[in-house]
Structure 1
């Protein structure tokens, strides 16, 4: 038998090899198509998730920005981030230079009822302050800071007590920018190390940060406007408009909790003579010195006001009649030691008459009754001092 291969077998083998090659290429193509479909499905799923996330963030922005005050805005922000995005820690850090502009009382982002005498911000859960230097050190280009784990930058987060109880897997510090100006940070943290991953897109939270910055900036402008409207520019004390707001609130609180409340009305003696003899510039110096005297010698939760002209008022929460009398005597002694120089160099004395009413010692159904009683007592004291001077 010949050793040469059968031509038919060679053809069969060639066809088989070609078939196997085509089959393998088809199989590879099917595998590639399946991998491509899986990749496309993953991309579509990510796109849907991203769209859903953007929609949720848009809804979050809408609900947060409808909050009536900063406290409610923070509460709503924290609740929604926790419920909708599984972000258990959230808060705001305002840059420290804003700290001297605003005092936060929870009712509104506004100058507190004692801001003229106390510029320190009040505690508000979820709110902290970061110094301007620290902000510029960590955010020189106003870019988000995303990290896994814990490092020095995390000190900027509010609610430090929670950090001890809750492990930090990842966090994001998002600059809040308004018209290119940084107002502070939106702070987000999670135990999940994959919640915030460096290098991933942060446009949704950056958009939220910008919206929050706009709201806060508008609130700060309103705060400054309110302060100008409620502050006497010459003395730095509150004005009569502020008294009409504060006194009823303090009286209602005193009634509700059965706490004492005292009201002192002060009138400067011989002030008209100072204006007539030495000019209104000298009179303004006396008024400014009196305002400083009050601010420097009343407690943080007391409120000093310039009621109008040469009349001043002090609202003293949790102060009974006897303690209020001691305050009047103290102010009179200090006023007698205070001298204001006129343009001609002659020292001008600050002399004051004072009226006092104290709830509940003074019968009063409301703030107006207390004010009338203090005003009447002021008139009586002024008349008595005039008679004493003539004797």
Structure 2
């Protein structure tokens, strides 16, 4: 090898190393999906001179879970899309090597983000994994068929796959921790911490503007008997059944919370006590009419609830509103036991 050729190769290695260092510097501090995909899109495009850069994530895989819990914003749709596992598997079979294609590109059009449609003549699919599991691909496309051809030296792309996998793993872990800080892991409803913060804010707003705000405290009857008779798996399924049903029957502005055990709270802004009571009675009746199926048996669902309003004379704080609703639940339960 000629001396000047060797020197040029050394310089090329240094330039590539500098590019990766720049990428790491700009992305390691990003800890949320929204900024991560935008920065990755911009930095890889600029640093490596690729006109089209985006992400494909396999639906239901670990990295896609935080995205599927919330609707993808129009901005995020520019940088990524979700792909079904079977469809993705047909495109990339070797998960340890980038795929390079510049001829039969039609099958890869399904990877394009919904809000982005552009033409390209060559494509590199760089597999991305988290903890050894394939979760998607980083896609780079170019209008030139010579950019990513099957004979292209993919060493740099393999290195990029490792870097991006580490970045994505970091962001996913942070997003999941943030989610669990404010959500119940079983039902995926908001937890007590999230509810109390929202309740304080909504109560202050209701007082300031003299507006309606109601809170319902909900208790699942006979839950212990369900666990004792059918097992805790059935009990968990019942809690999820209740959570899904209440969410479906609530408005987007309402807040459904699993407080603890078999206790739930429904926070209803701009809703008076009478209107809230009608809603809760409708929920209770619907659950009673639609028992949960479990291993060929029907599990009866019966709720007790208490409703309180921020405009009641005895309520002077957010905690007082919740306490009054809680007291009314147990008044109902005691009365029911007395009737029995």
**Same fold flag (TM > 0.5):** yes
Contact residue 128 and residue 135 of structure 2 kept, 8 A = yes
Aligned to 2:244: 295
Secondary structure of 2:151 counterpart: coil
Structure 2 CA distance, aligned partners of 1:347 and 1:141?
Answer: 46
Contact residue 247 and residue 315 of structure 1 kept, 8 A = no
| Distance apart, 1:385 and its partner CA | 7.0
* 1:206-234 superposed Cα distances (whole Å, 9 cap, x missing partner): 2122222233345545666777774365x
TM-score by length of 1: 0.64
Task: Mark the CA change 1:279 to 1:320 in structure 2 (over 3 Å): closer, same or farther.
Answer: closer
Structure 2 CA distance, aligned partners of 1:265 and 1:196?
Answer: 60
Structure 1 CA distance, aligned partners of 2:299 and 2:327?
Answer: 27
* 1:296-351 superposed Cα distances (whole Å, 9 cap, x missing partner): 242384554332244221245x653365333211122124436689xxx9986624
Select 1:281's aligned residue among 221, 224, 228: 228
List runs of 5+ in structure 2 lacking aligned partners: none
1:330 correspondence with 2:282? yes
Aligned to 1:248: 197
Matches within 5 A, 1:134-145: 134-142=87-95, 143-145=97-99
| Distance apart, 1:185 and its partner CA | 0.2
1:94 correspondence with 2:47? no
Aligned to 1:375: 323
1:183 correspondence with 2:132? no
Contact residue 265 and residue 313 of structure 1 kept, 8 A = yes
Secondary structure of 1:48 counterpart: helix
TM-score by length of 2: 0.72
RMSD (Å), alpha carbons:
4.4
Whichever of the two has the greater Rg, that structure is 1
Task: Mark the CA change 1:189 to 1:348 in structure 2 (over 3 Å): closer, same or farther.
Answer: closer
Structure 1 CA distance, aligned partners of 2:213 and 2:145?
Answer: 54
Task: Mark the CA change 1:202 to 1:261 in structure 2 (over 3 Å): closer, same or farther.
Answer: farther
Structure 2 CA distance, aligned partners of 1:141 and 1:319?
Answer: 55
Secondary structure of 2:15 counterpart: helix
Contact residue 277 and residue 307 of structure 2 kept, 8 A = no
Contact residue 168 and residue 190 of structure 1 kept, 8 A = yes
Secondary structure of 1:140 counterpart: coil
Structure 1 CA distance, aligned partners of 2:335 and 2:144?
Answer: 79
Query: Aligned residues, how many?
Result: 320
Aligned to 1:133: 86
Secondary structure of 2:244 counterpart: helix
Contact residue 267 and residue 311 of structure 1 kept, 8 A = yes
Aligned to 1:168: 120
Aligned to 2:29: 66
List runs of 5+ in structure 1 lacking aligned partners: 1-35, 106-114
Structure 2 CA distance, aligned partners of 1:68 and 1:243?
Answer: 25
Structure 2 CA distance, aligned partners of 1:148 and 1:286?
Answer: 54
Aligned to 2:164: 212
